[in-house]
Amino acid sequence: MMKSYREKEKVIHTIVFKDGVKVEDIKEAMKKSDKQHGLIVKMIPSMKFLGNDAVVDPDIIKEWILKNSHFFTDRNTTEFTVMQGFKEISHEVFKKKDPIGLIDDIMGDTIVIKPIMLTGSSDFSEEVINLDPSIKSDKVTKNRHADYGLMFGYDTDIDSVYDSYCNFTNTVSGGVHEETAEKAFCSYIQKQCKDSLSDKEKEKIDILWNDIRSGLKLVVYVNTNASVEFEGNVKEKIKSEKLKEILSDAFPKLISEYFEKNPEKLKTIVKLIKTNAKARIEANKVRAATVKENISPFKENLIKGYDRATNNGKNDYREIFFVEGDSARGGAGDYRDPRFQAFLSFRGVTANPHKQSMVELMDPNKGNKEWRNAVQILGCGWGNSFDINKLRFNKIIFLTDGDIDGYGIAAGMADFFMMCLPEIVKAGKLYRALPPLYLIKENEKKTYVHSKVELVERYQKKVIKSYNVALVSENPKENIDNETFKNLLVDTVDYASDLVSLANHFKANKFLIERVFAFLVSEYPNIDASFDTTAIFKDQKFISKFMSIIQQKFPETEYLWNPHTGCPILRSIVDKKRASLEIDSNFLNKAIVLKDTLMKYGYSLIVSEGDNKPEQVSIGQFCDMYRKYVPVIIERYKGLGEMPPEELYKTTLDPNTRTLIRLTTDDLKKDIKVFNKLFGTSIKDKLARAKMMSEYKIRYDDLDN
């Protein structure tokens, strides 16, 4: 349904469609008091055309409105409401935004040239098909108007990014407006750069459009009542020759007028483009040097830390392992199949491609020797000379320790490929070997386990089969379903470990700690490490309630007040041991790790094992109950070098028994943002990384994985 309010005409025009057919068309006069002007659109997906499971993604519509809000006038406002049946899910109001925000959104983290916006407008005439029967001519000439603009800037990301719009449509495939703007900008800058070259520079440097495009972010928009000739049903591109003619005059004029008034800006851009050109020339030299150094079998044997595969036939299957350290290479290398398995060792943490460009990494004189060797051994080149068909290996496999350090080194290796050789990632040639972390004994059999999560999965089924569990915080008469039970077991892996850690830290009974903190959480759900316990324990009613709860489980507990710290202290005898527990900020800071589980499941569970009578226990007590089903850990492998070579071969090298994880990407740009967050050197990346680390909860699982 579309309802149009026209203030000037004082008319409300309503049109309703159903399954593509107009079923209602009503015009009515607006009331004198009605000041509305605009359009209301209500839409429900048609099951006839889109199927019974059709869903309109509100985020896509919201994104469209957000982008187009940059072209609103001061009077424009869009309200977006999402309904589910008769229930309002969300309601947002969008007002005019600064158009420059469009290019801000696609600029990288390190801006070299701040965004600049150039705008203009033109009146012109256009021949259109005549629809008036009173006029004999097939075509008539009509006056048209166009508002247009281009925005540009540079950042350190070498990729150019273009975005274009026409009449509130994001023309993702470009068109004449985008092509004309690029041509006008690149032609002007190229001429200015060439004019600035000295005679000596002219002998060494030629300015190409690619030098200008490198790092360029360009946004173009046109709003016009002329025919723009959209291509395709989704209007991704425009092709109007008339519009091209107008813009071909307009854009060069806008650009030249701007830089004539802003010579310093032009000087900065010219300097950047000349730097890009020099970098391109140097990169070509380094690339040529790398390509020339073809690796012969003789040269391969001279590369330190490299054990080559012997089958060198063009169609022979080969795989290469990038190994962490010489000890692992030595242990596993002795058991590899030398016919098709090659090994290249790395020295722990690899060079960061966020700190050095590919040209710097590959430089024969000052680059990174390990990655330079790796690229030469792979044989597929890099940059403009990259050819996936020349890759000499079917699989590239990271073989690092199974602990957190090993994962970090593997992430560094993956970062190199994402930043420098993304084509290999997209081709699905990159893998990580998954060495076992544990050797366990289960049902009298020895089994390898690759992570602590997998370890939990080994006993989940047994625990779920053996126990019935209900949540006291919800319906104690109704057992939780299997999915909730699985989540409870995963959550309580941390919970059980945290309780032990707290008991060791405070030298107090873990169940007393659990009971104290669970009560505080139940009374104050927003409690955190900064919570002031002094204030609440000045209330005698609160103290009485608190102690009655604690003494139900721990009757010998007494309440004291520490006059020096102004905090309460509990003294108790548990398991024939005397202990003190001060409830201060340090206690809250440590015990806060229990909060999420307590908030999710409550403090108590109703548990029955088999046909036994149900009993009420704490989450911590239930952890101890099901402990008997946790497999016995025979061996925990800290590093690859600690594993017997024959076991290392069986678990990580043998194609018949090993486990590999393919490292690939569906959205390269999205995944590169993740790597920027982990390894980037910009202020934004460093702040994001610091925030991530400050919010991250260190768990025992992380120490193992």
> What are 656-670's pLDDT values in tens digits?
988 899 988 876 667
Instruction: Answer yes or no: is 116 within a domain.
Output: yes
Catalogue the E-assigned strands of 156-215. Answer: 161-166, 169-170
Determine the pLDDT at residue 511. Answer: 93
Residues 409 and 381 grouped into a single domain: yes
Q: How far apart are CA 541 and CA 537, in angstroms?
A: 9
Determine the pLDDT at residue 668. Answer: 63
Determine the pLDDT at residue 97. Answer: 85
Q: How far apart are CA 503 and CA 293, in angstroms?
A: 62
Residues 326 and 245 grouped into a single domain: no
Determine the pLDDT at residue 326. Answer: 61
Residues 50 and 115 grouped into a single domain: no
Query: Which of 593, 614, 635 lies at the terminal end of a domain, its last residue?
Result: 635
Q: How far apart are CA 398 and CA 374, in angstroms?
A: 12
Ranges in the chain, pLDDT < 70: 33-35, 108-109, 130-137, 233-234, 286-302, 325-333, 348-349, 365, 402-403, 638-639, 641, 667-669, 681, 695-705
Strands 341-346 and 577-582 turn out to be unpaired
Q: Return all residues near 589 (Cβ < 8 A) that are at least 6 apart.
A: 529
DSSP code, position 2: E
Residues 486 and 576 grouped into a single domain: yes
Q: How far apart are CA 370 and CA 333, in angstroms?
A: 18
Residues 627 and 648 grouped into a single domain: no
Residues 454 and 492 grouped into a single domain: yes
Determine the pLDDT at residue 279. Answer: 83
Residues 57 and 108 grouped into a single domain: no
Q: How far apart are CA 194 and CA 223, in angstroms?
A: 34
Query: Which of 273, 303, 329 lies at the terminal end of a domain, its last residue?
Result: 273
pTM of the model: 0.52
Please name which of 132, 113, 238 lies closest in space to residue 185, comparing C-alpha atoms. 113
Strands 38-41 and 139-155 turn out to be unpaired
Q: How far apart are CA 252 and CA 181, in angstroms?
A: 8
Determine the pLDDT at residue 705. Answer: 46
Please name which of 151, 173, 150, 168 lies closest in space to residue 103, comparing C-alpha atoms. 151
414 and 663 Cβ atoms separated by less than 8 Å: yes
Instruction: Answer yes or no: is 702 within a domain.
Output: no
Q: How far apart are CA 360 and CA 127, in angstroms?
A: 57
Q: Which residue has the tokens 């009974």?
A: 509
Q: How far apart are CA 420 and CA 368, in angstroms?
A: 13
Residues 159 and 239 grouped into a single domain: yes
Query: Which structural domain range is residue 300 located in?
Result: 293-435+640-669
Q: How far apart are CA 435 and CA 657, in angstroms?
A: 11
> What kind and span of H or E run contains 672?
helix 668-679
Give strand pairing partners of 293.
none
Q: How many residues does the chain have?
A: 705
Residues 547 and 648 grouped into a single domain: no
Residue 404 has φ and ψ, to the nearest 5°, of -65, -35
Q: How far apart are CA 212 and CA 539, in angstroms?
A: 71
Q: How far apart are CA 685 and CA 325, in angstroms?
A: 29
482 and 464 Cβ atoms separated by less than 8 Å: yes
Q: How far is CA 146 from the centre of its chain?
A: 39
DSSP code, position 470: E
Residues 221 and 306 grouped into a single domain: no
Residues 516 and 605 grouped into a single domain: yes
Query: Which of 635, 658, 689 lies at the terminal end of a domain, its last residue?
Result: 635
Interaxial angle between packed helices 668-679 and 683-695, expressed in degrees from 0 to 180 and rounded to the nearest 10: 80
Domain total in the chain: 4
Please name which of 291, 154, 260, 290 lies closest in space to residue 211, comparing C-alpha atoms. 154
Instruction: Answer yes or no: is 18 within a domain.
Output: yes
Nearest-5° Cα angle at 662, 657 to 663: 150
> Domain holding 398: CATH number?
3.40.50.670
Instruction: Answer yes or no: is 680 within a domain.
Output: no
Q: How far apart are CA 426 and CA 423, in angstroms?
A: 5
519 and 550 Cβ atoms separated by less than 8 Å: yes
Residue 53 identity (one-letter amino acid)? D
Determine the pLDDT at residue 179. Answer: 95
Instruction: Answer yes or no: is 575 within a domain.
Output: yes
Q: How far apart are CA 407 and CA 539, in angstroms?
A: 50
39 and 2 Cβ atoms separated by less than 8 Å: yes
State the sign of the Cα–Cα–Cα–Cα dihedral 479, 481, 484, 486: positive
Between the CA of residue 202 and those of 197, 281, 360, what are the distances in Å? 6, 13, 25
Nearest-5° Cα angle at 155, 150 to 157: 115
The token pair that represents 20 in the structure block: 């593509």
Q: How far is CA 628 from the centre of its chain?
A: 39
Determine the pLDDT at residue 451. Answer: 78
Determine the pLDDT at residue 224. Answer: 92
Instruction: Answer yes or no: is 124 within a domain.
Output: yes
Residues 268 and 299 grouped into a single domain: no
Determine the pLDDT at residue 131. Answer: 58
Determine the pLDDT at residue 386. Answer: 85
Instruction: Answer yes or no: is 578 within a domain.
Output: yes
Determine the pLDDT at residue 328. Answer: 55
> Domain holding 121: CATH number?
3.30.230.10
Please name which of 368, 361, 363, 381 lies closest in space to residue 295, comparing C-alpha atoms. 381
Instruction: Answer yes or no: is 695 within a domain.
Output: no
Please name which of 238, 250, 244, 242 lies closest in space to residue 122, comparing C-alpha atoms. 250
Half-sphere exposure in the Cβ direction for 387 (13 Å, CA) = 7
Q: Return all residues near 402 (Cβ < 8 A) that are at least 6 apart.
A: 434, 435, 436, 437, 450, 451, 637, 640, 705
